Structure 1
């Protein structure tokens, strides 16, 4: 028995060693392709996906050795078989002769059809292991619609496609599995995830956290405010709200609890702040790069128009954090490191971020910018003795970058199936018509339906996948109702983030609850309240011109002022205080003013903002001023 157990452990260690080598080589391959662009899309994308799938089968075993030791060996044999089948099937795709168009007339060979079926089946299995069953179910639903659309009622019917036609479209073309979502994941997103991994292993991540505490730690509720600031800095690069919650939350959540925040409040604050990192320039997670691909709008333009809404979101979150601290009577931290000391130790880590932001604004290729960013962070780390990297740490960064990218690539490849079916069957137009009919043609009603759909999709999908699925179905409805293409995509992109902080399944909040030892559901409720900006700001994008189009600067400034008024009105009505406690009458007035700001004409908004400003000024009473500012 002991010999068998030892053999299992040795086998597990050997497989993980092979996986580590494969992950490092994958990162090197991605950097090489990013610099040279040597391989064409029909070759590069299948190679990337096969590498990813093989790694998933190696690092995400069918059966874990500690849970079912007796089943581990046969299960590992299945995993290795899956890896071998993946390489064989993808080799068929790479060797496929696209110049010989006879396959369009005669169809694919039996071997090619089998290879296509294997790729789809193994992709769905890898999706189950890394993302979950919900996304698998969605992909199967759309594949079923493509197969049997001709037998459905006329209102949702489509031409039924054969297995050969589906395989040809989704596998042996740059549509479907190897379409735009995977192109973004395999190119831009992978490189920036690698950049984020290098930031972490070099110590830059800790520098940003230390800097946030230096800036905000001494003020009322300091650790919570530092959490928001650190998450704004790190979340834009990490690519995952959950990863950011775990990374920064491991430090900030215990400190918030020690200061006096309730455990569910600490978890909710970290979840709301970490989720906000996904909409904060310069990187904004993976979804913004997908948006650039879908819209054809340069990433530099998306970056610029995202700055003001992102700042408004974090301002909203900081406001709620401050109001919480006031209600609990919390103070700041007794001792914090001086900002000058922190900057002296880590100022060189700012250079790579400034560098990549400048290159992105100059409209350089995002892939090359990501490669340059990786080189910049490594160079910056090596310039100072205390942050100098060993070769072992460098390899650790290469490994971590590849492993962090696995679920993103798998999710995007599976989302490509959904995108492909929509394009192949034309169901997107029918969905748009259905959405408009259900809403009665009212923009506010369509926004509500999209928000509900975003929360539901997000319960089982990563944010990027949820955005991809939702955008191809919902954006046409928004543009049909008069919104610009970029505004429509930005609204859907923001609403796609909400599932991380919205009950009943709020994954970022649940991750924070695990660290805080708090109730997951109570933590999700707190995160939902703190992340109100994810709902309020998209509404203002739709109704007030918060996405700057370059031709109405006064309207854009007024939209910012109006949004600030809306945030203050909602916060005051919900929390029952601004600078000082509010009466029930004042809270009711603020709530009604918030509604008038959202749905009415400009002159009424002006009046509403003026009344809100008056309430804020009246709320600053001299007799309470000392209490209000004693810790700020």
Structure 2
């Protein structure tokens, strides 16, 4: 009852956004549609130079943010109060400082280094606007981090000796942030204003045409009859949806609205149903081709092709989902949950017949990427292909109103990630200016003694702290610019170091006390938010193990073929064994001896040695043997077995029924 009460509190708490109506609702839609059309135009027809692309993008994004997100909890969500008119003033400032860049950037470049008072003032105003937009959309943690780095840049001479530097004037700080591509208009915003937005728009069109429903129904048809079917459907549907949306919370509110009630109906406790959905949805940011903003940021940071990033990311993502699937399976077997009857599930033939055309855009997207087109062009083609594919069937055909809604939804969905990336540009700029990244990396190397495993554990702990208040994209950027170089200095490959940091940054979705995806799932499930968060944290333990495998074994296809195959096979067995160890269940509940053997098997299978792998396999299959052949719910004997009844009873805790 308490869980339900807590769930009700979540559902009824005041909305974070305004309920716009009348002229301002119309204005919001026009601006969001304009942003989407601008992004489509620049992606597929006429690219803009970096500074103009990023400036126009963030100008429209901040306008949407100040219209939609009020300044305080006291501000009205329903009417135009004093806070609303203050926000209109902020929007005017947004257009003023944005217009200054757009119309006068040629002159600004000519006098580079000889900054005017207007340059400095507008730099200060822009920094304030970006931080304020970030505060409203993300929260105070990112704001505090940004301000801390600005303070660090200014008061460098007064810092502790290890972190001290010469210090920089306010003029230098704010002009770097505002008038160059090394600050607010830097790489993170560049990724958000190009690759990320176009794929967010792709997801919006797929959602509007009914493609999301098709993937959910397909998952139901494939897994619904299995043991724990609805939970496996949640995992599979989140994998399908996550592969194109790349948003954990987006997955929770779309697939979760179907899968969580079905899991509860089958008998799963509300907090477990929500936890399964949150953990599965977190995998959406790991699964190619979209991976949230991560794949695009990683490609830019490492100067690597986007196609290569998604190629090496695929196998670890699948392994993560295998871990979640086996957790769901063991939980269902332990609780005695069967699948759903066939008459409650969509037929796979009918599902494919009604939605097969939604696979066309995905196929075209993959083809265009393989042909080495830019991700922007690939996203543009995918959006157009989705629109055209939807026209094939009457039920998915888009009207003009639907197209406008999809364009507006794309603009709205991009607000948070773009605000986070703009604020992250402040951090990147200050780190670059002061050399903080090298100092921090040196500290990590010193503390870890040059041992990569210790450094990875430190990064994991840092991700826990950052994950309590930052979204995934921001957490990844902060971690990778501070700690990434330390891993590289210890001999970890560039791509591997970035992938490790990116995986650990996913904790932002499932880490208590601020686990956004888990809380969203708790709201849908009517569960206690903290119980849901801790349960999803447990289910998502693959987030911690798989990055360590990446560091010590060729999981990212960075080794000889058979070595890669061995790593994939034995590591997957190790993850399954680890899940069985956590759940104390395989085919039946494990006794203490089996449980210990399973834990040892998991540990050995995850070590980077063929010898330990072989010993681990023997232990793992030994437990399978005892569970399947030696003891069952009813003991029927085993020919040739030379064990006394007393030995068996002692060994298996008296759980055998000896005839």
Q: Please tell me the TM-score bracket, short chain as reference.
A: over 0.9
Indicate whether 1:459 and 2:464 are aligned: no
- The CA distance in 1 between the partners of 2:621 and 2:580, in whole Å, is 12
Structure 1 residues 283-432: aligned runs within 5 Å: 283-335=290-342, 336-432=345-441
- The CA distance in 1 between the partners of 2:455 and 2:400, in whole Å, is 53
For residues 248-267 of structure 1, give each alpha carbon's deviation from its aligned partner in whole angstroms, at most 9, with x where no partner exists. Answer: 11111011000010111100
Q: How far apart are residue 93 of structure 1 and its match?
A: 1.9
- Structure 2 vs 1, CA of residues 508 and 126 (structure 1 numbering), >3 Å: closer, same or farther? same
Structure 1 residues 71-150: aligned runs within 5 Å: 72-98=80-106, 103-105=111-113, 107-150=114-157
Give 3-state SS (helix, strand or coil) of 1:178's partner.
Answer: coil
Which residue does 2:43 correspond to in 1? 34
Which residue does 1:3 correspond to in 2? none
TM-score in terms of structure 2 length: 0.90
- The CA distance in 1 between the partners of 2:244 and 2:606, in whole Å, is 32
- The CA distance in 2 between the partners of 1:497 and 1:11, in whole Å, is 32
**RMSD between superposed Cα atoms in Å:** 2.0
Which residue does 2:3 correspond to in 1? none
Q: How far apart are residue 104 of structure 1 and its match?
A: 4.2
Given the alignment, which residue of 560, 577, 583 partners 1:552? 560
- Structure 2 vs 1, CA of residues 349 and 11 (structure 1 numbering), >3 Å: closer, same or farther? closer
TM-score in terms of structure 1 length: 0.94
Q: In terms of mean alpha carbon deviation, does 257-266 or 523-532 score higher? A: 523-532
- The CA distance in 1 between the partners of 2:91 and 2:64, in whole Å, is 8
Which residue does 1:530 correspond to in 2? 539
Give 3-state SS (helix, strand or coil) of 2:126's partner.
Answer: helix
For residues 487-533 of structure 1, give each alpha carbon's deviation from its aligned partner in whole angstroms, at most 9, with x where no partner exists. Answer: 11111111111231122321111111111111111111211121111
- Kindly indicate whether the alpha-carbon contact (under 8 Å) linking 1:299 and 1:363 is maintained by their aligned counterparts in 2: no
Q: How far apart are residue 11 of structure 1 and its match?
A: 8.3
- The CA distance in 2 between the partners of 1:519 and 1:203, in whole Å, is 31
Indicate whether 1:612 and 2:624 are aligned: no
- Kindly indicate whether the alpha-carbon contact (under 8 Å) linking 1:158 and 1:427 is maintained by their aligned counterparts in 2: no
- The CA distance in 2 between the partners of 1:69 and 1:34, in whole Å, is 36
- The CA distance in 2 between the partners of 1:117 and 1:561, in whole Å, is 54
- Kindly indicate whether the alpha-carbon contact (under 8 Å) linking 1:495 and 1:534 is maintained by their aligned counterparts in 2: yes
- The CA distance in 1 between the partners of 2:633 and 2:563, in whole Å, is 34
Which residue does 1:588 correspond to in 2? 596
- The CA distance in 2 between the partners of 1:607 and 1:289, in whole Å, is 40
For residues 133-184 of structure 1, give each alpha carbon's deviation from its aligned partner in whole angstroms, at most 9, with x where no partner exists. Answer: 1111111111111111121122111221111111221111111100110010
Which structure 1 residue ranges, 5 or more long, are not aligned? 1-8, 628-632
- Kindly indicate whether the alpha-carbon contact (under 8 Å) linking 2:553 and 2:608 is maintained by their aligned counterparts in 1: no
Which residue does 2:228 correspond to in 1? 221
Q: How far apart are residue 626 of structure 1 and its match?
A: 11
- The CA distance in 2 between the partners of 1:109 and 1:61, in whole Å, is 33
Q: How far apart are residue 101 of structure 1 and its match?
A: 6.0
Q: How far apart are residue 540 of structure 1 and its match?
A: 0.7
- Kindly indicate whether the alpha-carbon contact (under 8 Å) linking 2:600 and 2:616 is maintained by their aligned counterparts in 1: no
Which residue does 1:570 correspond to in 2? 578
- Kindly indicate whether the alpha-carbon contact (under 8 Å) linking 2:154 and 2:168 is maintained by their aligned counterparts in 1: yes
Q: In terms of mean alpha carbon deviation, does 615-624 or 384-393 score higher? A: 615-624
Which residue does 1:181 correspond to in 2? 188
- Structure 2 vs 1, CA of residues 56 and 599 (structure 1 numbering), >3 Å: closer, same or farther? same
Which residue does 1:630 correspond to in 2? none
- Structure 2 vs 1, CA of residues 453 and 501 (structure 1 numbering), >3 Å: closer, same or farther? same
How many pairs align? Answer: 616
Give 3-state SS (helix, strand or coil) of 1:446's partner.
Answer: helix
- Kindly indicate whether the alpha-carbon contact (under 8 Å) linking 1:300 and 1:362 is maintained by their aligned counterparts in 2: no
Structure 1 residues 450-529: aligned runs within 5 Å: 450-529=459-538
